[in-house]
């Protein structure tokens, strides 16, 4: 079985080299990415920004192994992701990546605890063990006592906390967050961002977050702005607070 190891030295955790993505052919072809070069190091917190259609979501889909480049290379810990088999990609998503979505993506008729347990089921973790791990993850995001509530019985902020617990329960190397505060009010948004910052700072998780909100992007170590399928080299980078 292929294994992923902790990146050491100056080697980046993630590297995109000349990555393009083209949808369609001929005159109707749409160039979503136009030769992207990007490196992300382990334990970084990166905010990805840009207007709709700029290529940021396409880039995130490639980083999450949900899409493939038309050309160029995607390296994860030095491994060429494009050369992996379907089964190897599944293992990479299952063991290395955690996903947080704007719409929470929780199972509506399933309790918070069962939602968090779901990725552990895919890993084949025994019931007693995954139950304990899910309880610990919910406690970490401040939801002790809410384990048996369904999403319909939780506020938007609580639902996003369940989604975060589900993303971290497998102890991934990278958290990919797609507009994680997009459906939340400002107070709940700050609570979510404090959680993501704590996971990055205290657990060493690499966080890559798409956001339209400058206030949320300010939590990141680095901001990357996309425009017309390219990275805007003129955009300021770095933490702004």
CA atoms within 13 A of residue 237's CA, in its CB half-sphere = 14
Q: Does some domain include residue 93? A: yes
Confidence of residue 101 (pLDDT cuts 50, 70, 90): confident
Whole-model pTM: value is 0.90
Q: Does some domain include residue 236? A: no
> CA-to-CA distance for 50 and 52, rounded, in angstroms?
7
Q: Is residue 58 predicted with pLDDT exceeding 50?
A: yes
Position 102 scores a pLDDT of 84
Q: Is residue 233 predicted with pLDDT exceeding 80?
A: no
Q: Is residue 195 predicted with pLDDT exceeding 80?
A: yes
Position 186 scores a pLDDT of 93
Of residues 193, 180, 182, 185, the one with CA closest to residue 241 = 193
Calculate the average pLDDT of the chain: 91
- CATH number for the domain harbouring residue 183: 3.40.50.300
Of residues 210, 200, 156, the one with CA closest to residue 178 = 210
Q: Does some domain include residue 176? A: yes
Q: pLDDT (tens digit, 9 = 90+) per residue, 5-42?
A: 554 556 899 999 999 999 999 888 999 999 999 999 99
Q: What range defines the domain where residue 119 resides?
A: 14-231
Q: Specify the number of domains making up the chain.
A: 1
The label of the residue with tokens 């990007």 reads: 38
Cβ–Cβ under 8 Å, residues 91 and 65: no
Position 1 scores a pLDDT of 42
- The interaxial angle of helices 112-122 and 156-168, nearest 10 deg, is 20
Q: Does some domain include residue 225? A: yes
Q: pLDDT (tens digit, 9 = 90+) per residue, 63-100?
A: 999 999 999 999 999 999 999 999 999 999 989 999 99
Q: Does some domain include residue 30? A: yes
């Amino acid at each position: 079985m292929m294994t992923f190891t902790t990146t050491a030295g100056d080697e980046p955790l993630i590297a995109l080299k000349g990555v393009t993505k083209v949808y369609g052919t001929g005159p109707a072809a749409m160039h979503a990415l136009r030769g992207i070069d990007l490196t992300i190091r382990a334990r970084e917190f990166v905010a990805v920004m840009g207007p709709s259609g700029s290529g940021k979501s396409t880039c995130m889909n490639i980083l999450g192994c949900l899409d493939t480049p038309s050309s160029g290379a995607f390296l994860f810990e030095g491994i060429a992701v494009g050369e992996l088999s379907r089964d190897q990609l599944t293992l990479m998503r299952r063991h290395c990546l955690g996903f947080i979505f704007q719409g929470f993506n929780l199972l509506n008729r399933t309790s918070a605890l069962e939602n968090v347990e779901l990725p552990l089921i895919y890993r084949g973790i025994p019931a007693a063990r995954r139950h304990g791990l899910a309880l610990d993850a919910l406690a970490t995001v401040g939801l002790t006592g809410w384990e048996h509530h369904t999403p319909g019985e939780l506020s938007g902020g609580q639902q996003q906390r369940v989604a975060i617990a589900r993303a971290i329960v497998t102890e991934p190397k990278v958290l990919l967050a797609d507009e994680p505060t997009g459906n939340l009010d400002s107070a709940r948004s700050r609570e979510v961002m404090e959680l993501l910052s704590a996971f990055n700072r205290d657990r060493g998780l690499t966080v890559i977050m798409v956001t339209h909100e400058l206030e949320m992007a300010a939590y990141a170590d680095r901001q990357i702005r996309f425009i017309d399928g390219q990275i805007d080299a003129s955009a300021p980078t770095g933490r702004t607070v």
